[in-house]
Amino acid sequence: MVMIPFWRRKIYPPGYLLGGYKVIRVIGEGRFGVCYLVGLDGKQYVLKEIKPKGLKKSGNKVIFEKKILSSIDHPAIPKIIDTIKNDNIYAYILEYKSGKTVEDMIFGDNYIFTPSEIYKIGIRIIDIIKYLHERNIVHRDIRVPNVIINEEDVYLIDFGLARVVNNERYIPSVDFSYFGHLLLHLYYSSFKKTNRKSQSWYDELELSSSELKFLKRLLGLDEEYKNIYDVEKDFLTLEIGDL
């Protein structure tokens, strides 16, 4: 096998071997890392390679994901399986969660989420956030590309920005804001614009009074939620469409 100098290499092609794992395809690429679907012994995994510039610019921050994932165990969160670290690559192997991201479903498939689906997804995301916050972990990136749907299962991925709560920069309420924006994406999947004039989401969307109040509190437009238990309590009583 021909070795490609690390500084020249960008994307590994299908069939390339990395620490014994065979590259199947690229899943996604961010500023500091590239994720591949890889295979080993008939099983599929996610290999997340940290780019050289990511290591150089962020230093020890890039290893937070590994430390946090190694400390938790939840069926909706990918487990860390292995680490590959040598002169050519720094990467770790994650459990592969099959399904589609909310981003792909909305913007790729034009999928329309029903009120019932929004409620079920919301409940599962709250369950994940509750698990993390009870362990003083804040995800800080609960966005449409990081939530995977597979029928009734909902997964939260990409813990690259996750941190231990310190009540200064890393605070639980950050996750509430992200959760609010995620819900707005789900609501907007069924929205049909009737005029050219842009309006605020709370004017465009047909929301119940409880939904409106809940979302405004999540997004910090009204009194912010203090903890995930209050978020859960209010969400369970929401009137979401015709459930």
Residue numbers of the domain that contains 106? 100-235
* Residue after which a domain boundary falls, among 67, 95, 123: 95
Distances from the Cα of 190 to the Cα of 22, 111, 139, 145, 148, angstroms? 40, 8, 27, 19, 19
pLDDT higher than threshold 80 for residue 239? no
The pLDDT assigned to 199 comes to 82
Range in 8-17, 93-102, 143-152 with the lowest mean pLDDT? 8-17
Cross-strand bridge partners of residue 18: 21
Q: Which residues are catalytic?
A: 141
The enclosing domain of 84 has a CATH number of 3.30.200.20
Q: Are residues 115 and 231 in the same domain?
A: yes
pLDDT higher than threshold 80 for residue 197? no
Domain presence at residue 124? yes
Report the distance separating Cα 147 and Cα 80, nearest Å. 17
Report phi then psi at 126, rounded to 5.
Answer: -60, -40
Domain presence at residue 43? yes
Q: Are residues 186 and 104 in the same domain?
A: yes
For residue range 106-147, what is the model confidence (pLDDT) as tens digits? 999 999 999 999 999 999 999 999 999 999 999 999 999 999
Distances from the Cα of 203 to the Cα of 23, 32, 188, 206, angstroms? 47, 38, 12, 8
Domain presence at residue 8? no
Residue 48 is assigned to a ligand binding site: yes
Query: How many CA atoms does the CB half-sphere of 16 hold within 13 Å?
Result: 15
Domain presence at residue 226? yes
Range in 48-62, 74-88, 137-151 with the lowest mean pLDDT? 48-62
Q: Are residues 32 and 80 in the same domain?
A: yes
Q: Are residues 176 and 231 in the same domain?
A: yes
Asked if residue 115 lies in contact with residue 180, where contact means CB atoms within 8 angstroms, the answer is no
pLDDT higher than threshold 50 for residue 27? yes
